[in-house]
Every structure is written in structure tokens, then in C-alpha cells.
Chain A
Amino acid sequence: DTGVSQNPRHKITKRGQNVTFRCDPISEHNRLYWYRQTLGQGPEFLTYFQNEAQLEKSRLLSDRFSAERPKGSFSTLEIQRTEQGDSAMYLCASSNDRGNSPLHFGNGTRLTVT
């Protein structure tokens, strides 16, 4: 169990640029989640996958956000035409396919949009 890995750890980008983050879950986990967290707030749900299927996407997520998990292993989260309001910590978590399975979080990618 090597844990959930996220890359990069930090990303600074200019407004209007596109960014992509990667998450490698724990290998035997078939559920993968993306959350966004700003200072002093709880993780805000963005989307989740079961294997390669994206089962739910937050209504708060604009069309500029897209996520993929092409082979049911790693996942990418892309933000197009970044805005300053996108600045946050983006957390990835994985779990087994049971409602009583804990989420294992990665250390996150901190995005700063200037």
C-alpha cells in the first residue's frame, strides 16, 4: 500500500491557462474521488468514479472542469481557462467499493491562479 499519490504538489498558473492534475489511487481501490478545499472549509465534492465510469459530478462544477479515469486506474482533472476563484487545494481520494470503506486521501495539489 503505497498510498494515494497526486502530482504536481503545487501549480501556479496565469488566469486563462489550462491545468491538469493527476491522481494515482491505491491499486486495489476501484472508487476514486476528487474534492476541492479552500482555507477553513471542508472538502467540497467535485466528482467520483467507480472503475472507469464517472458516476456523479457536482452541479457546482462548471463546464471548464473535466475529469477522466480512462483505464480505471489513475485519474486526471483538467481545468480550462482558469480563473482566480479556482485557486484551492485539489484533493484526490480512493476507496474500496463499499459504503463503509474509508477514503484514503492524497496530499493534494495546491493551485494558485494569478
Chain B
Amino acid sequence: QQPVQSPQAVILREGEDAVINCSSSKALYSVHWYRQKHGEAPVFLMILLKGGEQKGHEKISASFNEKKQQSSLYLTASQLSYSGTYFCGTVYNNNDMRFGAGTRLTVKP
């Protein structure tokens, strides 16, 4: 039930854009996105419900393709503060949440 994230790692320069993908083999109730900085707990970014596209945080937005059971996180004009590991969390049938292995994002000056 664990979702699959890609890519595993991304290195950007400040101001560049990135896309992180999350896919599931099962029908999803919702998709959550979290960011975790080194040594800290994961912090909530946004939730995608079925068919929803939502802008929730700084210049970060996400989409949810219900047919493909996929979600993508879009980071535009990246800032140094965007560095961290991004996790998608998938919820099935309004129950527990499972996390992907994460995408490590590094933004360099």
C-alpha cells in the first residue's frame, strides 16, 4: 500500500522549478504532502482530495489525477528554504495514512 515517489532526489539552483510525483496502485481517498527538514518532524503542506487542485503553501501547488491515482507537487521559483525531504501520504477509505520513501530536494544559491 505504500505509494511510490519519484524522483528520489533533486538538486536545484534558486529560482528553478521542480516536480515531485507520487503514485498509488489503489484507489485513493486523499493525498497529503509533507516536508521534513533534517532532524525535525514532518510538517504538513497541503491535502489533495479527489479531483482537486490546490495551492496551499508559498509557491508550492499540487494536483491529483484520480484516473491514474497520481499526485504531483510543483515547486516554482524555488528558495533555499524549500530544501528538505518531501513525502506524500496516501489515505485509503478515510483510514490510515501510508507514506512514500521521500524525495530529497536540495536548493543551492
Interface residues of A (CB under 8 A from B): 33, 35, 40-45, 48, 55-56, 91, 98-100, 102-108
Contacts and interface: CB of A to CB of B under 8 A. Distances in A.
B100 A42 contact: yes
Given A99-B91, A105-B41, A107-B40, 15 more contacts: A35-B99, A41-B101, A41-B102, A42-B5, A42-B100, A45-B96, A45-B97, A56-B95, A56-B96, A91-B42, A99-B94, A99-B95, A102-B44, A103-B34, A103-B89
A42 B99 contact: yes
Given A42-B100, A99-B29, A103-B32, A108 B41 contact: yes
Interface in B39-80: 40-44, 47, 49
19 contacts: A33-B96, A33-B97, A35-B99, A41-B101, A42-B87, A42-B100, A43-B42, A43-B87, A45-B96, A45-B99, A55-B95, A56-B96, A99-B91, A100-B30, A100-B49, A102-B44, A105-B42, A106-B41, A107-B40
Contacts of A100: 30, 47, 49
Contacts of B29: 99
Nearest to A110: B39
Given A33-B96, A42-B102, A43-B99, A102 B40 contact: no
Interface of B: 2, 5, 29-30, 32, 34, 40-44, 47, 49, 87, 89, 91, 94-102
Given A41-B102, A43-B87, A103 B44 contact: yes
